[in-house]
């Protein structure tokens, strides 16, 4: 096993908060260090969601920290510590695990964020503003705007999702259309389709679908693709972990516990 010097927990927490610009977001959960564990970190496990299974995998690997996109303590959730919540907390506290969660800050990061990383994998080129920032729209400016690199059809993009994300996408619209402007936002952002339409998109890609998306697609002519919440949000936390391994002398392992939703 490779020896590492590690990093102080508070130093890592401060770097993550600053790098992901946590203070800029009013989120549905606390971002950053959610459960404090060991004061020094050498081994980190990353994953999409801080589920009991991911925590157990981290314990089995003798990790000191878990960093995820979907953490804990969501707005309006039942505050009582019982059932699955109790078991998750018990695992973390028993094994002195640090648990970090980054929700909207990880969606939005211009390099390691879920949207940036999904665009890379699907061959989508962002539109860049004069100040070198991606062109965005929607609530909290989370929706990215761009175009396909090769003038692909909606069918081509759906095929790439199937191959790259290993998920059968839900596609609504003209499969032969060649969208000039594509909008995308990972996860459960189906409610942002109106913003994408207002921004002039011909295709909107997200993770999940709701009943109104069908009607919006047919009535506006804007194609819609739902590619899976988990599937579209694997790549930001993976990229963040790789960045951490380059920034600090720590071992980082990404564990993908697949979720068909």
- Rounded Cα distance, 42 and 62, in Å: 10
Spatial contact of 82 and 103, defined as CB atoms under 8 Å apart: no
pLDDT of residue 100: 98
Looking up tokens 């019982």 gives 82
Give pLDDT tens digits along the chain (261 positions): 567 899 999 999 999 999 999 999 999 999 999 999 999 999 999 999 999 999 999 999 999 999 999 999 999 999 999 999 999 999 999 999 999 999 999 999 999 999 999 999 999 999 988 888 889 999 999 999 999 988 899 999 999 999 999 999 999 999 999 999 999 999 999 999 999 999 999 999 999 999 999 999 999 999 999 999 999 999 999 999 999 999 999 999 999 999 999
Whose tokens are 């965005």? That residue is: 136
Task: Output the pLDDT for position 212.
Answer: 98
10 and 32 in contact (C-beta within 8 Å)? no
What local confidence, expressed as pLDDT, does residue 74 receive? 97
CA distance 57 to 162: 28
CATH label, 7-107+234-254, candidates 3.30.1340.10, 3.40.50.10490, 1.10.10.10, 3.40.1390.30: 3.40.1390.30
CA of 106: how far to CAs of 32, 110, 115, 117, 153, in Å?
11, 9, 9, 11, 29
Q: Which residues, listed in sequence order, are joined to residue 40 by a DSSP beta bridge? A: 8
| Cα–Cα distance measured from residue 190 to residue 199, given in angstroms and rounded to the nearest whole number | 15
CATH homologous superfamily for the domain 110-232:
NIF3 (NGG1p interacting factor 3)-like (3.40.1390.30)
- The pLDDT score that the predictor gives to residue 2 is 63
Residue 225's SS3 state is strand
Q: Which residues contact 113 (CB under 8 A, 6 or more apart)?
A: 106, 107, 236, 239
| Residue spans per domain, the chain | 7-107+234-254, 110-232
Question: Cα–Cα distance between 224 and 226 in angstroms, integer?
Answer: 7
């Amino acid at each position: 096993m490779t020896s590492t010097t590690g990093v102080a927990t508070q130093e890592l927490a401060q770097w993550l908060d600053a790098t992901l610009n946590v203070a800029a977001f009013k989120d549905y959960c606390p971002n950053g260090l959610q459960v404090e564990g060991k004061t020094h970190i050498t081994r980190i496990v990353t994953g999409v969601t801080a589920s009991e299974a991911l925590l157990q995998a981290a314990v089995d690997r003798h990790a000191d920290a878990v960093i995820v996109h979907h953490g804990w303590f969501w707005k309006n959730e039942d505050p009582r510590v019982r059932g699955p919540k109790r078991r998750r907390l018990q695992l973390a506290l028993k094994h002195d695990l640090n648990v970090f969660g980054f929700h909207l800050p990880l969606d939005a990061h211009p390099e390691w964020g879920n949207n940036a990383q999904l665009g890379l994998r699907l061959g989508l080129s962002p539109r860049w503003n004069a100040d070198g920032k991606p062109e965005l729209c929607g609530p909290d400016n989370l929706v990215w705007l761009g175009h396909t690199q090769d003038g692909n059809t909606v069918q081509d993009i759906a095929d790439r999702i199937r191959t790259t994300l290993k998920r059968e996408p839900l596609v609504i619209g003209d499969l032969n259309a060649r969208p000039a402007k594509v909008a995308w936002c990972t996860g459960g952002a189906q409610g942002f389709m109106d913003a994408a339409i207002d921004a002039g998109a011909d295709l909107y890609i997200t993770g999940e679908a709701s009943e109104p998306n069908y009607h919006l697609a047919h009535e506006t002519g804007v194609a819609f693709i739902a590619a899976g919440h988990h599937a579209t949000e694997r790549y930001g936390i993976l990229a963040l972990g790789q960045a951490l391994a380059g920034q600090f002398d720590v071992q980082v392992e990404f564990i993908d516990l697949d979720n068909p939703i």
